[in-house]
Amino acid sequence: MLNCEKPTPDHEPCNTCNSCQSFNNNASFNILELDAASNNSVDHIRALVEQVRFQPQQGKYKIFIIDEVHMLSQAAFNAFLKTLEEPPPYAIFILATTEKHKIIPTILSRCQIYDFKRIAIADTVNHLKGICEQEKIKAEEDALHIIAEKADGALRDALSIFDRMASSAEGEVTYESVIRNLNVLDFQYYFRVVDALIAGDHSQAMLILEEVFQNGFEGDIFINGLAEHVRNLLVIQDSRTTDLLETSATWHQRYREQSVLASPSFLLTALHLANQADVQFPLARNKRLHTEMALIRMAHIHHVLKVDPAALAAEKKNSQPELSKPLAESGVQSLAPVQTSISSASSTTINLESVNVQQKSAALSEDEPTFAEPVSDPVPTSPETIPHAVDKTVPVSKAKPSPLGGSLKSLSNLEKAFILKQQEQEDVELNLEHIRDVWELYASQADSPSLRQFLMDAELQLTGERITVMVGTQMARGMIQQDTDLMPFIRDRVRHPNLGMILEVDSSLAPERDATDDTPTTPREIFDHLAEKNPMIHELRKRFDLRIDPV
């Protein structure tokens, strides 16, 4: 079009002039193309620069197209730079690349940059439909969607895949033939697996996974597809994000029906577990077991959330219009409240933190979800019979316990917000005796003997929502202040998230020293003791103008 002698008002070539006809016949001497992937040396660029000196034989411009320009060597770029700085008025250079960041800045600064984005799946499907009408090919819309997704925004790849499918399908492209030839896992497997996960049936999920393995698919392909499926379920729950679901109308309806059965917290946790399994998959030695463990964790998400899947499904079916609400407005409310009513010993779950029971404790990583141990002791028949004191025989777990029976670190942000909201709504009356019991419990489990002794010797006072901790020395104050696990443990046990702590030093609480004990304890005594062994310490203090901290 640049060299067209009679362009149309829409800036399109006329296809009748000499320049257009020579271009259409691939006989134009004004257009030169260089593949930089295989011609990336200095000599190739110098040969190209030599062609720039000659003016076009016909037309106004001489056009040079350099494909895959990022493959040029550093020396080739430098040889090409002078020509780009001062090009003749008839020369136009078109540099094509998929990796713009590999081109040196001095080249980029002398170019007009046009970024081409990936083609949307819907546009690709519409284009393929037009080809089907022209070529008289029957094709299912679901099959065209699979081809468009496989092309990943490249229309050339979509046309190549469609050509292969049409030639092998004898004029009719079906969904089954496409997934078979492209080695794509059928979406039906993901719907069946998610149904089993929502029901908490890990056995059924493992049987479906076995079918996937029998069909020749690897675990990483299944995990990635399952993560995409869960993401689609989460997207379709909000009317504002429904357009992000790029599937056919048939699958769109299936996603909407299944999304009613799952809560946002379940989907968020499942998506986190799937992403975690995908990241760790290359490091796993037993790939099959790694994939199965991911499914088992997903199947037991409801045990962590203490949600009855059947009750949740019935509740959400009765309130389907609420699915159009934003996630921030309706996501938390969709969680079932923590079961605290003590009406039936067989169907009631209670808070393990408020009952004197023995439970196992294990060091759990932040990334792995934790699940509550089942309650084996008889359940009290009324809430009043539950004692408020904490049994000191219960070990301290490094993972912070939560009202849902798992670790707060293993839960999603949505679940944490729900837990904290429930805790803030509880009207808990602070009790100094209860706080002292929890304090002594933490002290008895402290790893450091010094910290354990400092905690035991401290005196506690309660003023409003603040604990005043009186210790005898600055060393004790410093060690207690540096312990970051102390206050979260106490807040969680006393059910008061706003509880704070004030540390004060009272020298009268310092342990009495034996008259015969000459071990230095204060900073002045320690300095004098060291200076007695090495007099140069006095010179060091004077030279750097150092001072000795008071007790």
Residue 14's Cβ-count burial label (10 Å; 0-12, 13-18, 19+) is: middle
Site of tokens 């001072």: 547
Res 274: pLDDT: 92
17 Cβ neighbours under 8 A, 6+ residues apart: 4, 5, 6
DSSP H helices in 281-412? 287-299, 301-305, 309-318, 327-330
Helical packing angle, 121-135 and 155-168, nearest 10°: 40
Residues 198 and 323 in one domain: yes
Residues 132 and 69 in one domain: no
443 Cβ neighbours under 8 A, 6+ residues apart: 451, 452, 455, 456
Residues 28 and 72 in one domain: yes
Let me know: does 259 contact 323? Beta carbons within 8 Å.
yes
117 Cβ neighbours under 8 A, 6+ residues apart: 153
Residues 208 and 287 in one domain: yes
Rounded to whole angstroms, the Cα distance separating 297 from 384 reads: 35
Identify residue 289 by its one-letter amino acid code. L
Residues 197 and 302 in one domain: yes
The closest of 474, 506, 389 to 439, measured between CA atoms, is 389
Give the domain-ending residue among 181, 208, 232.
Answer: 181
Res 431: pLDDT: 81
Site of tokens 């994000």: 241
The closest of 153, 154, 177, 152 to 164, measured between CA atoms, is 177
Residue 47 within any structural domain of the chain: yes
- CATH number of the domain that residue 59 is part of: 3.40.50.300
Rounded to whole angstroms, the Cα distance separating 379 from 358 reads: 14
Let me know: does 457 contact 476? Beta carbons within 8 Å.
yes
Residues 176 and 244 in one domain: no
Rounded to whole angstroms, the Cα distance separating 90 from 322 reads: 64
Residues 86 and 195 in one domain: no
Res 223: pLDDT: 92
Let me know: does 304 contact 371? Beta carbons within 8 Å.
yes
Residue 1 within any structural domain of the chain: no
Residues 166 and 287 in one domain: no
Residue 143 within any structural domain of the chain: yes
Res 412: pLDDT: 53
280 Cβ neighbours under 8 A, 6+ residues apart: 290
- CATH number of the domain that residue 238 is part of: 1.20.272.10
- CATH number of the domain that residue 492 is part of: 3.30.300.180
Residue 390 within any structural domain of the chain: no
Residue 27 within any structural domain of the chain: yes
Give the domain-ending residue among 280, 311, 330.
Answer: 330
Give the domain-ending residue among 271, 296, 330.
Answer: 330
Three-class SS state of 409: helix
Helical packing angle, 536-543 and 523-533, nearest 10°: 120
Domain that holds residue 153: 121-181
Rounded to whole angstroms, the Cα distance separating 36 from 67 reads: 6
Residues 170 and 224 in one domain: no
List, for the chain, all residue ranges whose pLDDT scores fall below the cut of 70.
Answer: 171, 305-428, 511-521, 550-551
Three-class SS state of 320: helix
64: which strand partners?
Answer: 32, 93
Residue 38 within any structural domain of the chain: yes
Residue 406 within any structural domain of the chain: no
Site of tokens 């399109």: 12
404 Cβ neighbours under 8 A, 6+ residues apart: 304, 305, 306, 338, 372, 411, 415, 419
Three-class SS state of 470: strand
Three-class SS state of 169: coil
Site of tokens 């379920």: 233
Rounded to whole angstroms, the Cα distance separating 242 from 343 reads: 41
Dihedrals φ, ψ of 470, to 5°? -100, 125
* Prediction pTM value: 0.46
Residue 98 within any structural domain of the chain: yes
- CATH number of the domain that residue 177 is part of: 1.10.8.60
DSSP H helices in 117-263? 121-135, 141-151, 155-168, 175-181, 187-198, 202-214, 219-236, 249-259
Res 227: pLDDT: 92
Query: In the numeric block, which tokens belong to residue 340?
Result: 């605290």
Residues 455 and 437 in one domain: yes
The number of folded domains in the chain is: 4
Residues 235 and 128 in one domain: no
Residues 272 and 206 in one domain: yes
